[in-house]
Chains A and B, each alone.
Chain A
Amino acid sequence: MKKLILFTLLILPLVLFAKKNPMIEFEEYDLDNGLHVILYHDVNEPNVVVGTKYHVGSKNEEADRTGFAHFFEHLLFHGTKNIPQGEFEKTVMDAGGYCNAYTSYDVTYYYQLLPAHEYKLGLWVESERMLHPIITEEGINREREIVKEEKRMRYDNKPLGNAYYDMMGAMFAYETYGHNMIGSMDDLDASSLKDFDAFFKKFYVPNNACLVVAGNIDIDETKKWIDYYFSDIPKGKEVTRPKDFGAPTGKEKIIEKTEKGLKKTAVSLNYYAIPETHEDSYVMNVIATILSGDNAYSYFENEILVKEDTIINHVSATTELWEKVGAFRIKGRLDVENHEQYLISKVEEQLERLKNKPVDEYILEQVLNSYEIGYTDYYFHSESLADEITRYYHFWGNASEFNNAINHYMSIKQEDIQRVAKKYFNKNNRVTIIYHPEK
């Protein structure tokens, strides 16, 4: 009887709620100046998000001007021809809004969260930023110090704070993905107003941007106001994009470093992988979860981080996938010195297991369901959705591709895991970095 109840509880919902992946129906179009516009009416959202994602990040910087894209992001909050210096954020916050931005290797995204009746303000602010921001020497000098403090706080003030960029630097070309997004102190010091003018003219043009308005909006009215504020912004020259990202050498690269303040030896095994837009990227993400996701099934948790092993303190896997390159990163820490090779061999055992033994179907189903659950929220949260679909537009060249993400995950099979593991997890496709505590 118990079995029957359990069977009913498991099967009945499958009939009643057959799997139907969420789909976002949004409108998109281009203005004559090349600005791509995405509009989405969200029935649950009483507010709006207005965002502009520029297809420029730190991979577009000149080799002697690293940190520019991020620095520029700071400067574009200073003011515009019609928004006085220091009033940018006040203007948004006085309307009950919030504004912020971020810069990555690939994009720079500015966004505002506003009450629905203030969406026009959001459009005005974004058009001001795109058309005529005011950048001054004084502003650059002040902001430079703030960015340097950000660098110290985020990266320099803790052991291994720069480890991510050690990895990127060791794997990819310095000019594109191989430098720290926040830049070097020397490059920050050398930046001038002239450099910023040139950067703005080159990248902050409508034909290099995607404007998104999502939430409680009237699509037709919003279109009119977008046309009003953006259609006369002049189109820029076509943006030339970098092509050299660096490539694997076909031989393992091993780097040993000594870190001040580090208490335990750390190891980072970094495999060359694929860009985010590659079809294997979904499988890569799933592999990272199989290796170091939920404790109940995680290969690392159950095979390496066992109680009996007093040598290894920590090991975890992540994917680091960007627009044009990608890495599969495994980080480990040792409790006992001089056992790096032991840790590496334990990790390699698990990678071999992935290649040679199909992952348990039950584990795979758990992992895929966790992706479905995790992704579902993107479709119901305007702020995250706006960020996601603009990224899909710039990376995939097609915002609608976002709607296929859950399907991609749910169609992953055991053999995909093995195929991808075999393809990428080879010693000669890896950069190994070992960090020793400074004695």
Chain B
Amino acid sequence: MKKILFTFAMLLTAFAITAQVDRTHAPKSDIPKKLDIGVLIPIEMKNGMQVYLAPVKEYPKFTITVNIEQPDIRKDERIEEKSILDKAYMEKLSKKYANGEIDSLTRLKGAMLSASCYGGTIKGMNRDIELLLDMYSDLLFNPVIKENYISEKAENYRKSQEKKNNSSVFDDEKFYIEMLTDSLLRGTTKKNEEKKEIIQNFEDIGIETVEDFLHQRVVANNAVIVIVGDFSPKACQKLMNKYFGKWQNGASLKREREIEPSELVLERRKIFVIDKPNAVQSRIRFNWILKDAFAFDENSVKIEVLNEILGESQLSYLYSNLREDKGLCYSVMSSLTPDDNGGRAAIWTSVRTDQTAYAIENIILEMLRIRNFDVSDYDLKVAKNSLIGDFTRSLSGIAPIPYMSFAMIKDTYNLPDDYLQTKVSKYHEVIRKDIREMAEKYIQPFRSIIIVTGKADELRGSLEQFGEVTYIDEKGKKLKLKE
């Protein structure tokens, strides 16, 4: 009897312990503490230089990025001097370190040090920070500019002009499918036109003019410095004062955004097949332009959520359809990227040759679905939560890239100081209607270019259902296909 009771008691205990583990659903999360997205501490400097500190506790390394504003290259009247000064920075010879010490000591320390008219980057162990900053600042303010840099640059420019005159955009050596795509989508843009007009003249350039350029353009009040490492604001300020405190001001430059919406000149879908006779898969890429989607404008977060649902994540429409449901590909991705030219978009994947048309059909179907139907509340919620997670993770740790780039672009894009802190709430604000509106406006299944890189002979005839198809070789020449 005792044995039975004991066995029963044991069974009951075992059952009780097992019953305590409720595996049937996800555990409740803890109450989130204040959203920790790191900090960016502004450090005040008397010479107008902007300095920000992103502290990382107990980290024995540091990263310093320096950004010096310069005019747009197409409008800069002193690009010759800039190119010569950049050459001097690249050579890494300075007044104090005139014998190659900067390069050799940087390598010896396993560190990194680069300088240009646009600033530079210094990375290394904390124990070497004084040496590295001393070398960097001496190089930045006192580079050795040699006469032969000027003649070399002039000669290189002359040669490049000669080469340019002897070649056209679509000759054998210069065929780039991206350029063809861009011109078909946008036509000739003002920016493309301007690009052709950058002419350099080295005739009146001497060491004095380059030095003058250095004093006029490499100036404190146009510089933003971001320091990542285990520093207190006080220690950071001390270092900055020591190495950059005497840096002189100059004419203030504020980068003006050149917003130029693009016209979508492509009337209907076009397909280019680039022949790759040995391919075992077709690489498919859809390209189109967004026309008027600008970085950091009121739609940019909505477009980000739209992209997450369409093709950016493991849960997207494209991924679920092409990979999870049909097993057509290993990966499929989309990107919708607002920029100052009105934004661009792409979808890309790789599938086996005999599934190329089917994959294209399904991509078009998903583009149409997101345009013509509302996304579900659940899909929207997951997409927003996932993006919030990605965003907050990107702000922490030893390489808080968004903080570094935010400090650099904040003024150009006129972003509020709390832009990063309030971005999470912007994700929360996106609703289903926004996604539909953005999709109707920015997803272009009919006015896109599709590039397929694969076996042209096997693809022939299967893609014509999607639009006009042009078969070319890797150098851009039209193909004569077997009958």
Residues of B within 8 A of A (CB): 17-18, 20-21, 23-33, 36-38, 56-61, 96, 101, 103-105, 107-111, 123-131, 134, 276, 278-281, 313-315, 320, 323-325, 327-331, 350-352, 381-382, 385-386, 388-390, 392-393, 396-398
Contacts and interface: CB of A to CB of B under 8 A. Distances in A.
12 contacts: A46-B38, A93-B389, A95-B29, A121-B26, A127-B23, A146-B327, A149-B281, A149-B329, A153-B281, A157-B350, A229-B23, A232-B21
A146 B323 contact: yes
Given A120-B27, A121-B26, A376-B60, A97 B330 contact: no
Among the interface residues B29, B38, B96, B352, which one has the most CB atoms of the partner chain A within 10 A? Answer: B29
Contact of A95 (B31, B110, B389): B389
Contacts, number: 201
Given A115-B392, A149-B328, A366-B108, A373 B27 contact: no
Contact of B58 (A43, A46, A297): A43
Contacts of B324: 86, 142
A424 interface: no
Contacts of B124: 373
Contacts of B56: 44, 380
A261 to B, nearest CB: 4
A94 B386 contact: yes
A414 to B, nearest CB: 16
A117 B33 contact: yes
A372 B108 CA distance: 12
B37 A46 contact: yes
A375 B385 CA distance: 33
A146 B329 contact: yes
A380 B29 contact: no
A47 B128 contact: no
Given A125-B26, A142-B327, 15 more contacts: A46-B36, A47-B393, A93-B389, A98-B389, A120-B28, A149-B329, A152-B352, A153-B281, A159-B278, A232-B18, A366-B108, A372-B110, A373-B125, A380-B56, A380-B398
Contacts of B389: 93, 95-98, 113-115
A128 interface: yes
A149 B278 contact: no
Among the interface residues B24, B110, B126, which one has the most CB atoms of the partner chain A within 10 A? Answer: B110
Contacts of A362: 108
A19 interface: yes
Contact of B103 (A128, A145, A296): A296
Interface in A63-105: 81-82, 86, 89-91, 93-98
Nearest to A155: B280
A294 B134 CA distance: 23
B110 A373 contact: yes
B61 A373 contact: yes
Given A14-B127, A86-B324, A45 B397 contact: yes
A62 to B, nearest CB: 24
Nearest to A94: B382
B131 A9 contact: yes
A49 B126 CA distance: 27
A260 interface: yes
Given A46-B36, A95-B389, A232-B17, A90 B278 contact: no
Contacts of B101: 6
> Which 9 A-B pairs have CB atoms at the shortest separation, nearest pair first?
A96-B389, A17-B127, A145-B327, A369-B110, A46-B36, A150-B330, A93-B386, A370-B110, A261-B278
A116 interface: yes
A224 to B, nearest CB: 12
